[in-house]
């Protein structure tokens, strides 16, 4: 059993919580970065986890937190696309630079940076699944800030002995998802026509949060080239129509009532059979009625061939199973998707 210590930034986040539990299950001690002592209770019940107060913008706190650490998983970041460009760059670029500077100073052996497929940009007319060899073309602030974070980590790694791995997950699904888009879809599920308009014959990749966590640990423990970059995208590409059908199936077979979402899903399925009806609603600006899931870039697909060549296997391959995992306990009539 392994007894090394890993530091996890963003430990209280959607992916961070799952990663911490996965590391502990493998016998790896964890220093879980929290921004305030108020979050200590998040990990009080987990043996092998030491909450440490640290902010990625405060190098003194980071240096102290990294004492005795062999590996670093840097997940902390700003994901709100509505945040200002300055805020995004401050957290996602400058914060990442701080993490790598401090890790190198403390003799950390290996560090992983959680970036995003948003770094690729729209890549107009790209027909084949996007691999890591494709040159990123991010132009919007969030994607660009994550790409700048990659540059910062790679620059420091190139001048030090610290090995660096970068992962680029696609849209991540799982319980307790709380990204802005996930919240938007949750709200839509209770108040609007679902998956309506503009998505026919289009498809997308998906990945479960547990697979992202497992892939992260896998890449930090198997031999990979230094400064390697990996897409993290499930092997399957699902059409939006198939996703809608999976969503309906999960609602039908759930132990929870979900009466209103079921009615909305049923009604949505009916009205979408009317040629051009939902597209007409969208053109009328009926955002209060229609949730238009597809947006530019959502139908790009990504290749995980490089990751699969490292002998990694995805656990969550069925989109319906992924959605089912997002359903909370039957006593809780709320649910998370995306």
pLDDT score, position 93: 98
pLDDT score, position 282: 60
pLDDT score, position 336: 36
Mean pLDDT of the chain: 83
Residues 239, 236: Cα–Cα separation, whole Å? 10
pLDDT score, position 243: 76
pLDDT score, position 1: 38
Beta-strand relationship, 163-169 and 228-232:
parallel
pLDDT score, position 126: 63
pLDDT in tens, 248-293: 777 777 666 666 666 766 777 777 677 666 667 666 655 555 555 5
Return the closest-CA partner of residue 20 out of 64, 57, 59, 75.
75
Burial 98-136 (b: 16+ CB within 10 A, else e): bbbbbbbebebebbbbbbbbbbbbeeeeeeebbebebeb
Q: Looking at the DSSP assignment, which residues form a beta bridge with residue 31? A: 7, 50
Beta strands in 18-154, from DSSP E residues, in sequence order: 29-34, 49-53, 71-74, 110-114
Cα→Cα distances 257→322, 332, 337, Å:
19, 10, 17
pLDDT score, position 253: 73
pLDDT score, position 36: 87
pLDDT score, position 324: 82
Domain 5-169, CATH number (from 1.20.58.220, 3.40.50.300, 3.30.1540.20, 3.40.50.720): 3.40.50.720
Backbone angles phi, psi at 306, to 5 degrees: -65, -40
Q: Starting at the earlier edge strand, list the strands of the sheet with 49-53.
A: 49-53, 29-34, 5-9, 71-74, 110-114, 163-169, 228-232
Rounded to two decimals, the pTM is: 0.86
pLDDT score, position 333: 34
Inter-residue contact 238 to 173 (CB < 8 Å): no
Where the chain has pLDDT below 70, the residues are: 1-3, 81, 124-127, 177-201, 254-262, 264-265, 272, 275-279, 281-299, 327-338
pLDDT in tens, 315-331: 999 988 988 887 653 33
């Amino acid at each position: 059993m392994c007894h090394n210590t890993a530091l996890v930034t963003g430990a209280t986040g959607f992916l961070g919580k799952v990663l911490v539990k996965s590391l502990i299950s493998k016998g790896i001690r964890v220093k879980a970065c929290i921004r305030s002592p108020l979050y200590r209770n998040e990990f009080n019940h987990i043996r092998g986890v030491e909450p440490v107060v640290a902010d990625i913008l405060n190098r003194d706190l980071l240096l102290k937190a990294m004492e005795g650490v062999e590996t670093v998983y840097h997940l902390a970041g700003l994901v709100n696309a509505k945040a200002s460009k300055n805020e995004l760059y401050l957290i996602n670029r400058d914060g990442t630079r701080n993490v790598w500077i401090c890790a190198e100073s403390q003799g950390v052996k290996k560090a992983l940076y959680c970036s995003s497929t948003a770094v690729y940009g729209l890549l107009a007319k790209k027909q084949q699944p996007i691999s890591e060899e494709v040159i990123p073309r991010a132009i919007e602030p969030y994607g660009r800030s994550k790409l700048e974070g990659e540059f910062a980590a790679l620059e420091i790694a190139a001048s030090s002995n610290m090995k660096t791995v970068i992962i680029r997950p696609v849209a991540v699904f799982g319980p307790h998802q709380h990204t802005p888009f996930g919240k938007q879809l949750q709200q839509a599920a209770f108040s609007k026509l679902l998956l309506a308009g503009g998505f026919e014959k289009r498809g997308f990749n998906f990945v479960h949060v547990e697979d992202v966590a497992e892939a992260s640990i896998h890449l930090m423990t198997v031999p990979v080239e230094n400064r390697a970059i990996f897409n993290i995208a499930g092997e399957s590409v699902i059409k939006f129509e198939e996703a809608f059908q999976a969503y309906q199936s999960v609602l039908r077979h759930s132990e929870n009532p979900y009466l209103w979402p079921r009615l909305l899903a049923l009604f949505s399925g009916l009205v979408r059979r009317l040629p051009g009806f939902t597209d007409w609603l969208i053109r009328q600006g009926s955002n209060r009625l229609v949730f238009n899931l597809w947006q530019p870039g959502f139908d790009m697909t990504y290749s995980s061939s490089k990751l699969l060549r490292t002998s990694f296997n995805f656990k969550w391959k069925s989109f319906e199973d992924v959605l089912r995992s997002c359903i909370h306990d039957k006593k809780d009539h709320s649910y998370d998707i995306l």
